[in-house]
Amino acid sequence: SGIEALQKFNQDSNGLSGSFTQTVTSKKKTQTSSGTFKILRPGYFRWNYTKPYQQVIVGDSKTVWLYDPELKQVTKKSQAEALGDSPAAILSDRNALGSSYTLKEDGSQNGVNWVKATPKSSNAGYQYIRLGFKNNQLNGMQLRDSFGNNTNITFASLNNNPNVSATDFKFTPPKGVDVLSN
Amino acid sequence: CQTVPVAKDWHERPENKTSFDASGRLAVKQNDKGSYANFDWSSSGKMQQLDVNTPLGNTVGQLCQDAQGVVAVASDGSRFEAATASELSERLMGFAIPVEALDVWAHGHWHERSPHTVLEDGRLLQDGWVIERQVNEEGQPRLLLLESEQLSIRLLFSQYQSPSTLPDTEVCERSA
């Protein structure tokens, strides 16, 4: 089932890396982006958008750094506060979905078992997160916010034990870039 | 990086405003404080709506302006109304973004509600903001840069088109 797969995912895989494709559907348009990600539990992640433009999101377990190379701006905020900002923040925190979410089996389609996590607090910024697992492997993630936007992420070329260490998640702002705290 | 032409020609706002549908990134800087978000921004000429989003696509705040004024909606559904969008955007984003004039400036126009000056370097001065505009080859907005004494706001457009369908309502949704 979905919940079992989520628990197994939370228990064993310390690290995970791969690529993702993200599609955001709002009332008026659909926007697609893609990139790569790396996760090392607990709390380390890199979520890099490469298309249509570059955005680098790095969690070093204390601070989340959001860097836009074209605008030459880095915005940093405390990682605890930024949990909702990226799925990697959720995936890199073993008990992110445990305490503050209620979990529910949410069916399966073409081999993907879905779990629906609904935030217990109302100001989480979104209505629910769905995580999809295929033969116990993370396959997809969906988010629905309170404005009717649906984010659908599919993961690919997953590596369940990438050789990553904490130093891979140290973010050093490039020279000549504004580093601002949120 | 490739140089993007700076549009130096400014004109009075035409009778009816340009309708458009755009998205991109918004970067705000105030000394060592700052904020950054993706945005979706559309206007039918009578009503404009600015959605402030995370890179993940969920909206953290929405500003809507129509003939009656401005309303802001936060992600927990709470709604605020105020005289000016700057006041609302300060409450929503922590920075006073002059949304009520942004769509006019973005298209190379000044509005008639207050005096303006076109500086020699081709930037526009209005409402305490020095505004620089860069356009792409089709002459559509590519970068809008606003500087006031302590605040710098940049909107970098990654998508800009005339809307295929105009929204049926010209009024912001005010009650939940």
> What rounded mean pLDDT belongs to chain A?
89
Flag if B58 and A52 touch (Cβ within 8 Å): no
**Average pLDDT, integer, range B52-64:** 90
| pLDDT at residue A99, rounded to an integer | 74
Average pLDDT of chain B, as a whole number: 89
User: Is residue B173 over pLDDT 80?
Assistant: yes
The pLDDT-based confidence of B1 (bands split at 50, 70, 90) is very low
What is residue A83's predicted lDDT score, i.e. its pLDDT?
60
What is the residue type of A156? Answer: A
Q: What is the pLDDT of residue A91?
A: 81
Name the residue facing A75 among B34, B59, B156 (closest C-beta): B34
A68, A142, A150: best to mutate for the B interface, most B CBs within 10 A: A68
- Tell me the shortest Cα–Cα distance from A106 to chain B, in angstroms: 21
pLDDT at B16: 84
> Which pLDDT band, with edges at 50, 70 and 90, does B76 fall under?
confident
- Confidence check: pLDDT of A65 > 90: yes
- Among A28, A57, A71, select the one facing B55 at the smallest CB separation: A57
Res. B92 pLDDT band, cuts 50 70 90: confident
